[in-house]
Amino acid sequence: MERKYIFEAGLDVFTSFKTIVPVENLMELSKFDEHLYHIYGILSYNRIYFRKEKTKVISNGIQVTLFTVEDGNEVNYDLPLWEIFPGVDYRKVKLTLTFPYTFIAVKIEDEDFLSSHPEIVNPEIEVHAQHLFSLFAETLVHKQEFKVLYIGQAYGKNGSRTAFDRLASHSTLQSILTDYQTKNPNKYIYILLLEFTPNLSMSFDGLTKRYTKSEEESDQHMEEVLCDLPRGEQIINITEAALIHYFKPEYNVTFIENFPNVYHKGYKQYFDLDYNSLTVELDMEFDHAPTIQLYSKTNRINSSFDFIRYKLYNDIERLSMYEIFEKKDRGLAIKGSI
């Protein structure tokens, strides 16, 4: 096996911003979140419930126990003491839980407290067990495993369309909310929103002198690549396809088996320019959160060190551009922002 060119190019896309939000909060988030989320995932996670007999008001707060069902067994989570507002008299706070115990109604009946806090318009708040679990998740679990049900994208003209626009009227999302949740009532739907930034990765090997193309052809290859940098829509297209092929989510149809495909127009730029590789860095680290892991029946992302990488060529005699890192003293690698 040999390198094809002295200069090899690859597309590297990494997660520059990400959000995981319960599906019912998606449109509210869209009102103030201005990130350019062009890739999205529909995920499921264990449904969380209140343990009714262990959720009660005590003298200085609200004691809450949550639980979920894993492999037919109930798992309890005892939360830190929940203080809804500083200064409230908890003897005058009323809790209401009704089956199936996924919500709790908290009513403040402390008139002295309410009169001194006119900003509290509604003395009764409704809290979802799922949201409360997320708030304290870092102290409750070491990791959260989300199942990937669907991967999609929205780009539009010059990137003007985002995941919020697409998901506002999304037939597959509606299907998942009905079909999947009917079959899996113990699961809860979340939306993963991803903003990606591209890098053009380049490697040079001036030492081995073993290439299938001449130095002149390699120079021409480098000039063509640098004069036609990756385009926004093609970046999103190939990233979406790579994620779908990697996870093979059960509600996706296209890209499950036929990626990468030299004949696909949506990302043909990389084949036209004879790119060597594609790398997707799906960083799922969040501040003040447990380790987030994504999985499907096919594959997993356990940490930010798990890269999704594909060769963009079919020649079994061509070396990967990243092969140089596996041997000592084999050239120089450069990576720069687009």
pLDDT digits (tens, 9 = 90+) for 266-284: 999 999 999 999 999 999 9
> Residue 327: what pLDDT?
53
Q: What is the pLDDT of residue 331?
A: 40
Among residues 143, 166, 188, the one where a domain terminates is 143
* Claim to verify: residue 194 and residue 320 sit in the same structural domain: yes
Residues 189, 53 within the same domain? no
pLDDT at 315 over 80: yes
Verify that 34 and 65 share a domain, yes or no.
no
- The SS3 of residue 28 is helix
Q: What percent of the chain has pLDDT over 70?
A: 96
Q: Which of 143, 159, 178 is the last residue in one of the domains?
A: 143
pLDDT attached to residue 328 = 44
Predicted TM-score of the model (pTM) = 0.88
Q: Is residue 128 part of a domain?
A: yes
My answer on whether 169 and 251 are in the same domain is: yes
Residue 90 has pLDDT above 50, yes or no: yes
Is 184 found in the same domain as 269?
A: yes
The answer to whether 104 touches 167, Cβ cutoff 8 Å, is: no
What is the spatial distance between Cα 29 and Cα 38, in angstroms, rounded to a whole number?
15
100 lies in the same domain as 177: no
Is 250 part of a structural domain of the chain?
A: yes
Looking at the fold, whether 288 and 206 belong to one and the same domain comes out as yes
Residue 288 within any structural domain of the chain: yes
pLDDT tens sequence across 7-65: 999 999 999 999 999 998 888 888 888 888 999 999 999 999 999 999 999 999 999 99
Do both 224 and 167 map to the same domain? Answer: yes
Final residue in a domain of this structure, among 113, 143, 173: 143
Kindly report the average pLDDT of the chain as a whole number: 90
Domain co-membership, 28 together with 166: yes
Q: Indicate if 314 and 176 belong to the same structural domain.
A: yes
Q: Is the pLDDT of residue 75 over 50?
A: yes
Q: Which residue has the tokens 């839980």?
A: 97
Please say whether the beta carbons of 281 and 13 come within 8 A.
yes
Q: Is residue 270 part of a domain?
A: yes
For residue 2, is it within any domain? no
Residues 160 and 237 in one domain: yes
- Only one residue has tokens 């903003």, namely 195
Q: Of all helices (H) and strands (E), which one includes residue 43?
A: strand 39-46
Residue 218 sits in the same domain as residue 296: yes
Q: How many domains are contained in the chain?
A: 2
Whether 279 is in a domain gets the answer yes
Which domain range does residue 123 map to? Answer: 49-143
Query: What pLDDT score was predicted for residue 72?
Result: 85
3-class SS of residue 183: helix
C-alpha–C-alpha distance, residues 184 and 251, integer Å: 14
> Of 51, 72, 71, whose CA–CA distance to 62 is shortest?
51
